[in-house]
Amino acid sequence: MLDEAGFVIQSERMQSDWAAENLQVIRTLMERSALYRRALAPIMLTVGVIGSLAGFAAFYLESRSVPTFIVFWLVTGGVALGTSFLLVRRQSMREGEPFWSPPTRRVALALAPPLVVGFLLAVLVLVSSFAERGWPFEPKALPGLWMILYGCAICSAGFFMARGIRFLGLLFSLCGLLSISLGSLDLDFPTLLVANICMAATFGGLHVAYGVYLYFTEKKKIAA
Amino acid sequence: MNPETFLQLDRVIHEKGRLGIMSLLAASPDVAFTDLRDALGMTDGNLTTHIRTLQEAGYLSVAKSFQNNRPLTTCSLTAQGKKAFADYINLLEQIVQQNRGNK
């Protein structure tokens, strides 16, 4: 009788809905545990704008020495890192989630080694410059090395983030390789000018381009 | 739909709180007690009770260590727990599939 009244069918549907909802909750929890889920578009756009502005500033200020170039871009990197930190913190506070969550920790740990190596390479060149010794390596290779290391950092962090970001890391590393290859050709360019343009194009341009791409795709993903 | 499928669901995992713990642990090698508590919004006592139940079922192992001179409790799934969780997910998927087939 209950069967005829559709009771069983109704309860089957309820069970199925419940099962589908449970699967969705499980998926969300697993992603929360494993993947870094903060919106990256605002971070990428902000870092890109900072990189581009720094590129214009370097162009107009006409930094003429290697130490000035290094300090200028290290400060820019520090500002970009600090701003990203604040943006991530604001997002996590808005969503009522802990800032230093396991995925954030994993992303930070994956980013750290290549970024620290890039920083130490810059310090090495700076120290050699102030001690008036020979360069440990050609300083014009530094922007390329920074790009390669930054690309490696993003690729490593990409294992704990949305998959697309690893492509950005690969692009950075390829740009770094290209920059080093062009540097070895001894082209007749004012080297620091080219280096500043390379830095603005990659740390500014690539970030802005990826940020714009994410701005349109991330919203769709959330809506889906 | 075969009601047997529904009855096969693991009662230990099926409870909402424990399902949350299992889901978080299934995606990470290990998770700190405090991270589990914050992610699931549970009280210390509630989480401890659920962890104990999962431990008694052999699904979860607890390791105690020190980090920066402070005690650190981490939880991870055992091989048995991973299998039980995978079976649970498979059964849920079967329930959804069966109902889609009936529509």
Please answer yes or no on whether A29 and B25 come within 8 Å at the CB atom: no
Please answer yes or no on whether B20 and A32 come within 8 Å at the CB atom: no
* Chain A positions in Cβ-Cβ contact with residue B93 (cut-off 8 Å): 19, 23
Establish if B9 touches chain A: CB-CB under 8 angstroms. no
Shared domain check, A182 and A91: yes
Residue A132: which region, alpha, beta or left (left: phi > 0; alpha: psi -120 to 50)?
A: left
What is the C-alpha to C-alpha distance for residues A201 and A144, in angstroms, rounded to an integer? Answer: 12
Shared domain check, A154 and A111: yes
8 Å CB contact between A152 and A174: no
Shared domain check, A42 and A3: no
pTM listed for this prediction: 0.69
Shared domain check, A115 and A180: yes
Q: Within A133-200, where are the H helices?
A: 142-157, 165-183, 191-199
Please answer yes or no on whether B25 and A33 come within 8 Å at the CB atom: yes
pLDDT tens-place string over residues A147-159:
999 999 999 998 8
| Torsion over CA: B27, B32, B35, B37 (sign) | positive
pLDDT at A34: 66
Please answer yes or no on whether B96 and A13 come within 8 Å at the CB atom: no
- Three-point CA angle A196, A202, A205, nearest 5°: 105
Among candidates A20, B65, B13, which has minimal Cα distance to B21? B13
Shared domain check, A124 and A23: no
Shared domain check, A219 and A120: yes
A17, pLDDT greater than 70: yes
Please answer yes or no on whether B23 and A33 come within 8 Å at the CB atom: yes
Shared domain check, A13 and A82: no
ipTM for the predicted complex comes to 0.72
Structural domains counted in chain A: 2
Shared domain check, A64 and A13: no
Size of interface A-B (CB pairs under 8 A): 66
Shared domain check, A107 and A134: yes
Residue-by-residue DSSP string for A101-128: -HHHHHHHHHHHHHHHHHHHHHHHHHHH
Establish if B93 touches chain A: CB-CB under 8 angstroms. yes
Digit-by-digit pLDDT tens for chain B (103 residues) are: 566 666 778 888 888 889 999 988 888 778 889 888 888 888 999 999 999 999 999 999 999 888 777 888 989 999 999 999 999 988 888 888 877 766 5
Shared domain check, A98 and A18: no
CA B52 from chain centre, in angstroms, equals 12
What is the C-alpha to C-alpha distance for residues A47 and A79, in angstroms, rounded to an integer? Answer: 9
Domain that holds residue A20: 1-31
